[in-house]
A and B are shown apart, each in its own frame.
Chain A
Amino acid sequence: MTPALEAAAKLVVDPIVCDGHGMCAEVLPELIELDDWGYPILVAPLVPAYLEPLAKRAAAACPVLALRLIPR
């Protein structure tokens, strides 16, 4: 595995806090899709290193801070 593809962090959604604003999927469509009601589905919870900057932006974009990026 090349270093760029190695998982650098993990995405976690708090389902009670999440209100389905959908900002995360706009910033990080590579890893987050929205279901039919606008709530995020993590296509892959592990974030490869090259996507880490985007994942950070996605977590910061959440208005209710329901998306967290946990370093590994």
Chain B
Amino acid sequence: MIQPRLLAGPPAAAGAETLSDHVARLGSLPGVERDLVRTITASGLLGRGGAAFPVGRKLHAVAARSLGDARLLVNGAEGEPLSAKDRALMASRPHLILDGALLAANAIGAREIVLYVGSAHREGQLALARAVSERRRLPLRVRLVSAPHAYVAGEESAAVHFINQGDARPTVTPPRPFERGIDDMPTLVQNVESLAYLALIARFGEDWYRQAGRGQTPGTALVTVSGAPNGGVREVEMGTRIGEIAQMSGLGPHDSDAVLLGGYFGRWTTRDLGWALPLDPVLLQSAGAPFGTGVLSFLGMGQCGVAATAAILDYMAAQSAAQCGPCVFGLRSIADTTRAVASEVATSSDLGRLERWAGQIDGRGACRHPDGAVGLLLSAMTAFAADFETHSRRSGCLANVARPSLEVAA
């Protein structure tokens, strides 16, 4: 197994690493490197906020437009309910994130850094605020903004919209933030894990970065595992198979039959198909599964996949920005009907209705929120086809337990 990189050093339970401990472990901030954008591009680092977009390309896009007045938005909103890796990193490695932010800000010619941290992530906010105050001299303005506790608040156009106008709803793009973002200036929006990694690559180089990774994507990644005895946040090598992660999280070979990959916007996959999949953004995408923010939520043997899906759809319906009819009414109908199936008060015609609605809603919102919910539902109807069938015939729940727990292990 590969050595941890992002989580190297004292255990996360020890709390935030102080500046002196951080410097003693990793040395001070590496000097201004002329070629940071090139180094990051060559490393192949992919963004860790969910879209897996190459970090180097984003850096370049902003640097090319900046006249020394760009902005950097450090994204620690982490609105995905099943993800805990960003808050864990902010709470334990604030100086690594700050190093990455300062290096990126320098590379793009930024005048200001905004630390955009979820209002629910108190420890992360405190750790970053303390870390900023520990730095004696900062070459530019750094401010902390508390992100609203909502699913979409971390989407990059929503984040910029909130900082500019106090409204954390996505906006119509273009322009994208790299063209016009905070204060209408070219803005780099980068996830906290991506920036922490940038700080390590700036120190150790792209070859070091590429030494890890078994598939298409180099490096290691933070993942959040739930539904397992040893769940929580861990660092794994890119390309590690889902089944291996199940095993290292304490799940026996028959302890789980399915896993939700990528979070609430993700896809269910069964053990037969899923355990052999490598956790690698590029390879997963070609298998029709999302890497997202590295969420793996295992469904225990006593848990019902239909009920778990109904609970997520309920949340997704409630999180609609309530701007578009197909999303407002469609997601509510889908959530209620899935709940009815789970509670065995639906009929087989309801299954047909769910499929028809799924086909109709997809692509008909201003943003991709409804598409995400529909994709999740369809993956559940495939992965749990037998369960949907027996529930709608009212012949009992295969899993025998009505309400699973989908809480994140802290």
Contacts and interface: CB of A to CB of B under 8 A. Distances in A.
Given A15-B365, A37-B333, A20 B360 contact: no
A15 B321 CA distance: 12
Interface residues of B, number: 14
Q: How large is the interface on A (under 10, 10 to 19, 20 to 34, 35 or more residues)?
A: 10 to 19
A22 to B, nearest CB: 11
A15 B325 contact: yes
Contact of A37 (B323, B326, B365, B366): B326
Contacts of B325: 15, 18-20, 37-39
Interface in A6-60: 13, 15-16, 18-20, 35-39, 41
A50 B357 CA distance: 31
Contact of A41 (B327, B329, B360, B365): B360
Interface in B311-346: 323-327, 329-330, 333
A39 B329 contact: yes
Given A15-B364, A15-B366, A16-B366, A37 B329 contact: yes
Interface string B352-370: 0000010011001110000
Interface of A: 13, 15-16, 18-20, 35-39, 41
30 contacts: A15-B323, A15-B325, A15-B326, A15-B327, A15-B365, A15-B366, A16-B323, A16-B366, A18-B324, A18-B325, A19-B325, A20-B325, A35-B330, A35-B357, A35-B360, A35-B361, A36-B329, A36-B333, A36-B357, A36-B360, A37-B325, A37-B326, A37-B329, A37-B330, A37-B333, A38-B325, A39-B325, A39-B326, A39-B329, A39-B364
